[in-house]
Amino acid sequence: MDSVFSNVVRAPEDPILGVTVAYNNDPSPAKLNLGVGAYRTEEGKPLVLDVVRRAEQQLVNDPSRVKEYIPIAGLADFNKLSAKLILGAASPAIQESRVATIQCLSGTGSLRVGAEFLKKHYHQSVIFIPKPTWGNHPKVFNLAGLSVEYYRYYDPATRGLDFHGLLEDLGAAPSGAIVLLHACAHNPTGVDPTSEQWEQIRQLIRSKSLLPFFDSAYQGFASGSLDTDAHSVRTFVADGGECLIAQSYAKNMGLYGERVGALSIVCKSSDVASKVESQVKLVVRPMYSSPPIHGASIVATILKSSDMYNDWTIELKGMADRIISMRQQLFEALQTKGTPGDWSHIIKQIGMFTFTGLNKEQVAFMTKEFHIYMTSDGRISMAGLSSKTVPHLVEAIHAAVTSVA
């Protein structure tokens, strides 16, 4: 009998998640997954931070805790502490109550809620996003009803920032357009503007009355310092202008599957912020009603306790340092091997991902011949590497570069 859904066609595999599916189906003992955007230990295992285990234990042992619904905006403590973490404890925006913060479903949910709010309440419905950017960005904004345009960002020739192209494209954007900015550790390229370049970007954005929407997925995870990685956001907030910030605790607290994030909207006055919050709640209510309690409680517990907070910063720096050391090891091994080309971009880029510069054919060759899995654009997750697997990757890159054009 025909189904009423007979006309439904099979959707293509998500290009990033599909890498893991292919990896899981490969029986080779030499296989290596560099596609996944999640931290791995030197042994290649997922990591739950000690401080997260302690916070969870504390929550579980508290008999007064219940499983009641939390407010539409989420846990008040979590929201307050999240705004403080990204904007800085002394931020005038916080002191003047000009920030509306809503707990959301990790970074993706924060972006989607922010996009839905903008579609309904902002006079411009075009958003400029970097080329390239995270594969989910255009989908999130398109589905919320915004129209997506691109600005130049990455220069394949230098494997660095196309700063001239970026300024030119944002300079030509219509007044009031929304601009998506990666707060740090740009995904997928690992290429970030310098602080001088950020200042020029800020001046251009403010002079054109563009609206910045920051995606902050890696605070503390890129450089190892929470303050350094929040620099771009804080310079925009310091000028008194308005902006949106999507925060995720997936990477920096390792809370991937807990889906913990926050959307902060920095406004001109406390009165505006309170109205904005009331309208953001109207976006959330028919979407998922209210957010989950567990992950946000873990975050609030850690951020509230100075001991736990300090322990977290140490563990966080440990993760960032391991990734930085993997960059160094990979770069040095390619140099020692004499692999053709300049590989210095590996140590210049920052964060979880490196844009290797390998093309689709070279990536396919490495998967087929060496069982190494990555996205077809040549992005590799440095967090998936270890001292033990660097030599295998170097063999594969060398073979791909010397035998596949």
The question of whether 215 is a catalytic residue gets the answer: yes
- Which of 192, 229, 251, 312 is the catalytic position? 251
Q: SS3 letters for the chain? A: CCCCCCCCCCCCCCCCHHHHHHHHCCCCCCCEECCCCCCCCCCCCCCCCHHHHHHHHHHHCCCCCCCCCCCCCCCHHHHHHHHHHHHCCCCHHHHCCCEEEEEEEHHHHHHHHHHHHHHHHCCCCEEEEEECCCCHHHHHHHHCCCEEEEEECEECCCCEECHHHHHHHHHCCCCCCEEEEECCCCCCCCCCCCHHHHHHHHHHHHHCCCEEEEEECCCCCCCCCHHHHCHHHHHHHHCCCCEEEEEECCCCCCCHHHCEEEEEEECCCHHHHHHHHHHHHHHHHHHHCCCCCHHHHHHHHHHHCHHHHHHHHHHHHHHHHHHHHHHHHHHHHHHHHCCCCCCCHHHHCCCCEEECCCCHHHHHHHHHHHCEECCCCCEEEHHHCCCCCHHHHHHHHHHHHHHCC
- Which of 134, 198, 312, 343 is the catalytic position? 134
The question of whether 134 is a catalytic residue gets the answer: yes
- Which of 162, 169, 215, 229 is the catalytic position? 215
Provide the β-strand partners of residue 35. Answer: none
Provide the β-strand partners of residue 148. Answer: 127
Burial bucket for residue 259 (CB in 10 Å: 0-12, 13-18, 19+): buried
Decide the pairing of beta strands 353-355 and 178-182. unpaired
The residues annotated with a catalytic role in the active site are 134, 215, 251
